[in-house]
Amino acid sequence: MAVIARLHDLVANGDLGLVRFSASLEQVLAADWENELEAAVAGLPSIVRLTPSWRKLAQPVVLDAGIHRLELGAAWQLGADTTVKTNTAKVRLDLTEATWDARDVQLHLQSGTGNMEVIVPRGVSIQVVSMTGRVTLEDLAPALPEGPVLRVEAATKTGKIRFTHEHPVPRARRWGRKRASGTAL
Protein backbone atom coordinates (compact mmCIF):
# COMPACT_ATOMS: atom_id res chain seq x y z
CA MET A 1 0.00 0.00 0.00
CA ALA A 2 1.34 3.43 -1.03
CA VAL A 3 0.41 5.08 2.28
CA ILE A 4 2.40 2.57 4.35
CA ALA A 5 5.40 3.00 2.04
CA ARG A 6 5.10 6.77 2.52
CA LEU A 7 5.09 6.34 6.31
CA HIS A 8 8.24 4.21 6.11
CA ASP A 9 9.94 6.84 3.92
CA LEU A 10 9.07 9.59 6.40
CA VAL A 11 10.57 7.62 9.29
CA ALA A 12 13.68 6.72 7.29
CA ASN A 13 14.25 10.38 6.38
CA GLY A 14 13.74 11.50 9.98
CA ASP A 15 10.59 13.48 9.12
CA LEU A 16 8.36 11.36 11.35
CA GLY A 17 9.03 10.02 14.84
CA LEU A 18 8.29 6.44 15.85
CA VAL A 19 5.38 7.39 18.12
CA ARG A 20 3.67 9.36 15.34
CA PHE A 21 4.53 6.58 12.86
CA SER A 22 2.83 3.96 15.08
CA ALA A 23 -0.26 6.10 15.55
CA SER A 24 -0.53 6.89 11.82
CA LEU A 25 0.06 3.27 10.84
CA GLU A 26 -2.65 2.11 13.23
CA GLN A 27 -5.05 4.68 11.75
CA VAL A 28 -4.19 3.60 8.18
CA LEU A 29 -4.65 -0.11 8.93
CA ALA A 30 -7.99 0.55 10.63
CA ALA A 31 -9.33 2.66 7.74
CA ASP A 32 -12.30 1.08 5.99
CA TRP A 33 -13.22 4.02 3.78
CA GLU A 34 -11.30 6.42 1.56
CA ASN A 35 -12.19 9.40 3.78
CA GLU A 36 -10.75 7.59 6.83
CA LEU A 37 -7.53 6.98 4.89
CA GLU A 38 -7.41 10.63 3.84
CA ALA A 39 -7.81 11.68 7.47
CA ALA A 40 -4.94 9.39 8.47
CA VAL A 41 -2.51 11.08 6.07
CA ALA A 42 -3.85 14.63 6.31
CA GLY A 43 -1.41 15.72 9.01
CA LEU A 44 1.70 14.12 7.49
CA PRO A 45 4.44 16.21 5.86
CA SER A 46 3.82 16.99 2.20
CA ILE A 47 5.27 14.78 -0.53
CA VAL A 48 6.53 17.89 -2.30
CA ARG A 49 8.11 21.09 -1.02
CA LEU A 50 5.52 23.85 -1.28
CA THR A 51 6.62 27.37 -2.19
CA PRO A 52 6.11 29.89 0.65
CA SER A 53 3.05 32.05 -0.10
CA TRP A 54 5.11 35.25 -0.46
CA ARG A 55 7.22 33.63 -3.25
CA LYS A 56 4.41 32.11 -5.32
CA LEU A 57 4.28 33.30 -8.92
CA ALA A 58 1.25 35.28 -10.05
CA GLN A 59 1.71 34.41 -13.74
CA PRO A 60 2.22 31.13 -15.59
CA VAL A 61 5.77 29.80 -15.97
CA VAL A 62 6.93 29.36 -19.58
CA LEU A 63 10.29 27.72 -20.31
CA ASP A 64 11.44 27.35 -23.92
CA ALA A 65 14.63 25.32 -24.39
CA GLY A 66 14.54 25.68 -28.17
CA ILE A 67 17.67 23.84 -29.33
CA HIS A 68 19.58 24.10 -26.05
CA ARG A 69 19.68 21.43 -23.33
CA LEU A 70 17.58 22.23 -20.24
CA GLU A 71 18.07 20.49 -16.90
CA LEU A 72 16.04 21.66 -13.94
CA GLY A 73 17.09 19.99 -10.72
CA ALA A 74 17.58 21.52 -7.29
CA ALA A 75 15.87 24.75 -6.26
CA TRP A 76 13.66 25.48 -9.23
CA GLN A 77 10.08 26.64 -8.87
CA LEU A 78 7.16 24.82 -10.50
CA GLY A 79 4.34 27.29 -11.04
CA ALA A 80 0.69 26.36 -10.65
CA ASP A 81 0.54 26.63 -14.46
CA THR A 82 3.83 25.63 -16.12
CA THR A 83 4.66 25.18 -19.81
CA VAL A 84 7.92 23.62 -21.01
CA LYS A 85 8.78 23.62 -24.72
CA THR A 86 11.65 22.24 -26.76
CA ASN A 87 12.35 22.00 -30.44
CA THR A 88 15.30 19.61 -30.70
CA ALA A 89 16.89 19.81 -27.25
CA LYS A 90 16.90 17.31 -24.43
CA VAL A 91 14.92 18.45 -21.37
CA ARG A 92 15.08 16.96 -17.88
CA LEU A 93 12.63 18.19 -15.23
CA ASP A 94 13.20 16.89 -11.72
CA LEU A 95 9.95 17.63 -9.89
CA THR A 96 11.31 15.96 -6.74
CA GLU A 97 13.76 18.87 -6.38
CA ALA A 98 11.35 21.69 -7.26
CA THR A 99 9.25 23.81 -4.96
CA TRP A 100 5.60 23.64 -6.00
CA ASP A 101 3.43 26.77 -6.07
CA ALA A 102 0.29 24.64 -5.64
CA ARG A 103 -0.77 21.14 -4.73
CA ASP A 104 -2.67 21.05 -8.05
CA VAL A 105 -0.36 21.89 -10.98
CA GLN A 106 -1.15 22.23 -14.69
CA LEU A 107 1.90 21.01 -16.65
CA HIS A 108 2.00 21.59 -20.43
CA LEU A 109 4.82 19.82 -22.31
CA GLN A 110 5.55 20.43 -25.99
CA SER A 111 8.34 18.80 -27.97
CA GLY A 112 9.29 18.72 -31.63
CA THR A 113 12.08 16.18 -32.07
CA GLY A 114 13.65 16.62 -28.64
CA ASN A 115 13.21 14.24 -25.72
CA MET A 116 11.86 15.13 -22.28
CA GLU A 117 12.26 13.28 -19.01
CA VAL A 118 10.04 14.23 -16.07
CA ILE A 119 10.98 12.80 -12.66
CA VAL A 120 7.89 12.79 -10.44
CA PRO A 121 7.84 12.31 -6.65
CA ARG A 122 6.30 9.02 -5.54
CA GLY A 123 2.68 9.41 -4.48
CA VAL A 124 1.87 12.35 -6.77
CA SER A 125 -1.30 11.78 -8.79
CA ILE A 126 -0.74 12.19 -12.52
CA GLN A 127 -3.85 12.96 -14.51
CA VAL A 128 -3.33 12.97 -18.26
CA VAL A 129 -5.57 15.64 -19.77
CA SER A 130 -4.26 15.19 -23.32
CA MET A 131 -1.45 13.24 -24.93
CA THR A 132 -0.11 13.25 -28.49
CA GLY A 133 2.92 11.32 -29.74
CA ARG A 134 5.35 9.10 -27.79
CA VAL A 135 4.52 9.74 -24.14
CA THR A 136 5.25 7.07 -21.54
CA LEU A 137 4.41 6.79 -17.86
CA GLU A 138 6.87 4.16 -16.62
CA ASP A 139 5.96 2.08 -13.57
CA LEU A 140 4.53 4.97 -11.60
CA ALA A 141 3.56 4.30 -7.99
CA PRO A 142 -0.05 4.69 -6.90
CA ALA A 143 -1.13 8.17 -5.85
CA LEU A 144 -1.52 8.97 -2.18
CA PRO A 145 -4.85 10.22 -0.85
CA GLU A 146 -4.74 13.99 -0.35
CA GLY A 147 -1.48 14.07 -2.33
CA PRO A 148 -0.46 16.64 -4.94
CA VAL A 149 -1.98 16.41 -8.43
CA LEU A 150 -0.12 16.94 -11.69
CA ARG A 151 -2.52 17.55 -14.61
CA VAL A 152 -0.57 16.90 -17.79
CA GLU A 153 -1.00 17.98 -21.39
CA ALA A 154 1.83 16.41 -23.40
CA ALA A 155 2.49 16.65 -27.13
CA THR A 156 5.46 15.56 -29.20
CA LYS A 157 6.01 15.22 -32.93
CA THR A 158 8.87 12.72 -33.24
CA GLY A 159 10.52 13.12 -29.83
CA LYS A 160 9.64 11.27 -26.64
CA ILE A 161 8.25 12.45 -23.29
CA ARG A 162 8.89 10.06 -20.39
CA PHE A 163 7.51 10.24 -16.84
CA THR A 164 9.32 8.24 -14.17
CA HIS A 165 10.06 8.16 -10.43
CA GLU A 166 13.62 7.07 -10.80
CA HIS A 167 16.67 9.15 -11.31
CA PRO A 168 18.62 7.65 -14.18
CA VAL A 169 21.57 5.53 -13.13
CA PRO A 170 24.74 7.04 -14.55
CA ARG A 171 26.67 4.84 -16.95
CA ALA A 172 29.75 3.25 -15.52
CA ARG A 173 32.86 4.97 -16.76
CA ARG A 174 35.58 2.84 -18.18
CA TRP A 175 38.82 3.82 -16.61
CA GLY A 176 41.63 2.57 -18.77
CA ARG A 177 45.14 2.41 -17.54
CA LYS A 178 47.58 4.68 -19.24
CA ARG A 179 50.10 2.90 -21.29
CA ALA A 180 53.65 3.70 -20.30
CA SER A 181 55.83 4.69 -23.18
CA GLY A 182 56.94 1.58 -25.04
CA THR A 183 55.24 -0.97 -22.75
CA ALA A 184 52.20 -3.10 -23.45
CA LEU A 185 49.37 -3.51 -20.99
**Considering the entire predicted model, what is its pTM?**
0.73
Assess if residue 182 is contained within a domain: no
Burial of 141 (C-beta count, 10 Å sphere; 0-12/13-18/19+): middle
First to last CA, the chain: 54
- Nearest-angstrom CA–CA distance, 37 and 168: 32
Assess if residue 183 is contained within a domain: no
**How much is the pLDDT for 182?**
52
Instruction: Mark whether 15 and 96 lie in a shared domain.
Output: no
Q: 164 - beta bridge partners?
A: 119
pLDDT in tens, 17-74: 788 777 777 777 777 777 776 777 677 777 888 899 999 999 999 999 988 888 887 7
Assess if residue 83 is contained within a domain: yes
pLDDT in tens, 69-117: 888 877 799 999 999 999 998 999 999 889 999 999 999 999 999 999 9
Domains: count for the chain: 2
Instruction: Mark whether 22 and 55 lie in a shared domain.
Output: no
Return the C-alpha torsion angle 92, 93, 96, 100, nearest 10: 170
**How much is the pLDDT for 167?**
58
Query: Could you tell me the residue range of the domain that residue 20 belongs to?
Result: 1-45
pLDDT in tens, 128-170: 999 999 999 877 777 777 789 999 999 999 999 999 987 554 5
Q: Report DSSP letters for 48-87, one per residue.
A: SEEPPGGG--SS-EEEE-TTS-EEE-TT-EE-SEEEEEES
Instruction: Mark whether 11 and 60 lie in a shared domain.
Output: no
Sheet bearing 77-78, strands edge to edge = 49-50, 99-100, 77-78
Assess if residue 136 is contained within a domain: yes
